[in-house]
Homo-oligomer: A and B are copies of this chain.
Amino acid sequence: MTYCVGILLNEGLVMASDSRTNAGVDRVSTFRKMFRFRVDGERVMCLVTAGNLSITQAMVSKLVEDNKNAEAPNLLNAANMFEAAQRVGDAMRAIYDREGAYLKKHNVTFTSSFILGGQIKGEAPRLFRIYEAGNFIEAGDDTTYFQIGETKYGKPILDRVVGPETPLTEAAKCALISFDSTMRSNISVGPPIDFFCYRTDSLTAAFHQRLDEDDPYLAEIRHGWGEGLKAAFNGLRAPDWKF
């Protein structure tokens, strides 16, 4: 399984992905699911992926190859983030055209989903959730985050805490708690966790951090969140029902 999240804030973007893959519980591996693209001073993008690894890797390879050809449409010459999302969708469709029928013959479902975030000079940062059909939706003030993969365990804390005004580092903390909840309940989601934090209009740097199993900040969040939940639980009175 996989868990990825992307959050759009006034201050910028926070994106995160786990890196565990499994084909059955006896075939568990580590693969990167976060990919970054940038042209300093002009554009910064981050793509996180979920679904069949052969499909998502093929698609990312296609995007990387396309970027080498400056004459053809690619992520590095897209006029804006909407066009960039379309190009991810187009790459998805190209992979489907090549692979879809063969996978179907072997009853392999063509599953893949993506979150694309980034900023191109001249517009604000934008965030998209791209489906396997190549269509996509965009985050706005009402819905400021997207999740893909194992989304349910980590959703409640995002719903309670994150909004457009949330500071970048607070959103990163919230994303990590969301990962902790997911990893506790689904062993097929696991570290290392890749983090991408981007400050609006910086355009030159995209902060990347990889948190391993034994990362001290991850340990601090795990322990502190567990203690905090227990305190919240103990702070509520039990019902006074008599039986």
Contact = CB atoms under 8 A, between A and B. Distances in A.
Contacts of A209: 239, 241
| Pairs of residues from A and B, 8 with the lowest C-beta to C-beta distance, nearest first | A228-B232, A207-B243, A169-B238, A152-B152, A224-B236, A173-B238, A197-B243, A156-B181
Oligomer copy total? 2
Nearest to A155: B185
Given A152-B185, A157-B233, A199-B243, 15 more contacts: A153-B155, A155-B185, A159-B185, A160-B230, A170-B238, A172-B238, A173-B233, A197-B243, A207-B242, A209-B241, A227-B232, A228-B229, A228-B233, A231-B231, A232-B232
Highest count of chain B CB atoms <10 Å: which of A167, A172, A241? A241
A35 interface: no
A177 interface: yes
A205 interface: yes
A243 B207 CA distance: 6
Interface in A95-134: none
A239 B173 contact: yes
Contacts of A53: none
Contacts of A155: 153, 185
B241 A207 contact: yes
A225 interface: yes
Contacts of A85: none
A174 interface: yes
A168 B176 CA distance: 33
A221 B236 contact: yes
Contact of A156 (B174, B184, B205, B237): B184
Interface string A157-189: 101110000011110111011000100110000
Given A155-B185, A185-B156, A239 B217 contact: yes
